[in-house]
Amino acid sequence: MSVPETPPPPFGDYYREIYAKGMLAGERPTLPMAWEELEHRAQEALDDRAVAYVFGGAGSEDTMRANLEAFKRWRIVPRVLRQDLSVRDPSVELLGTQMPAPVLLAPIGVQTLLHPEGELASARAAAALGLPLIASTASATPLEEVAEANGDGPRWYQLYWPNDDELAASIVRRAEAAGYTALVLTVDNYVPGWKPRDLQQAYLPFLEGIGIAQYLSDPVFRAGLEKPPEEDIGAAIGHFLGVFANPRLTWERLEWLRGTTSLPIVLKGDSPPG
């Protein structure tokens, strides 16, 4: 007779482990418990180019600050004495994906700027928690390798739609084959933004071939090169710069994308009505 597995404790009970280690062993957390301090530590540990790329916004960064202030205005309103809270279940299902909490790992590109294992480490962490990973087109690791690291974990794929439809379709097919179950289309990055912090550093990781792994590993992209990227990375980077931006995207073009995949499509980014 098999013994049923003991369900893991709720995420919110992590505080018990922290206090217990402090009381029994005098052990304190090695990482900050506050987001602001965690960001401060990260900026101290990273080089200036990585800090500029990760923490910088476009223009005067007013929109970035406004987004943060808008998020801070949201409030959680507790509903007390409504039900027995000894067993809590924050799990939800979204677009056919079951998740233990209404949280997804956002598609952050070029993660090797922060750690050598980059997206692979994030994929393993997401799988361990059962939270959906959204892999970025700007990943420093091919989407198939990210999927392998993610194992049986739920995963979606974020698409920067290039100006080559054959290339876009190829990337989507690869995501489907690798077990990504939803497509997240970014609609507010038609052309690169004016990012003063990056410009001050005169640094863009893509120009060093970092963060373009989805392109370098794609058969359609490679077919457009005279030599493989392994032999001429400069030409490959130039080809990437030629296909990345797609300012011609419109609502009507979504019909073409809908016809290339059976995956649910999520639109990510600011898009005014009309």
pLDDT band at residue 272 under the 50/70/90 scheme: very low
Together in a domain, 51 and 105 = no
Note whether residue 77 is domain-resident.
no
pLDDT for the residue numbered 1: 55
DSSP assignment of 113-159 equals GT-TTHHHHHHHHHHHHTPPEEE-TT-SS-HHHHHHHHTTS-EEEEE
Note the pLDDT tens digit of each residue in 109-141: 999 999 999 999 999 999 999 999 999 999 999
61 Cβ contact list (under 8 Å, min separation 6): none
Q: Which domain holds residue 33?
A: 18-55
pLDDT band at residue 79 under the 50/70/90 scheme: confident
Residue 274, pLDDT above cutoff 70: no
Note whether residue 4 is domain-resident.
no
CA 63 to chain centre: 20
Together in a domain, 267 and 207 = yes
Q: How many structural domains compose the chain?
A: 2
Average pLDDT of the chain is: 91
Q: Which residue has the higher pLDDT, 273 or 5?
A: 5
Note the pLDDT tens digit of each residue in 159-215: 999 999 999 999 999 999 999 999 999 998 877 789 999 999 999 999 999 999 999
Note the pLDDT tens digit of each residue in 240-257: 999 998 999 999 999 999
pLDDT for the residue numbered 9: 65
Together in a domain, 147 and 22 = no
Distance CA 249, CA 182 (A): 20
Strand ranges for 6-143 from DSSP E: 92-94, 97-99, 133-135
CB distance 143 to 178 below 8 Å: yes
Note whether residue 229 is domain-resident.
yes
Instruction: Map residue 214 onto helix, strand or coil.
Output: helix
Together in a domain, 42 and 128 = no
pLDDT for the residue numbered 242: 95
Note whether residue 65 is domain-resident.
no
With 0-12 / 13-18 / 19 or more C-beta atoms within 10 angstroms meaning exposed / middle / buried, residue 134 is: buried
CA 178 to chain centre: 16
pLDDT band at residue 4 under the 50/70/90 scheme: low
Note the pLDDT tens digit of each residue in 226-237: 999 999 999 999
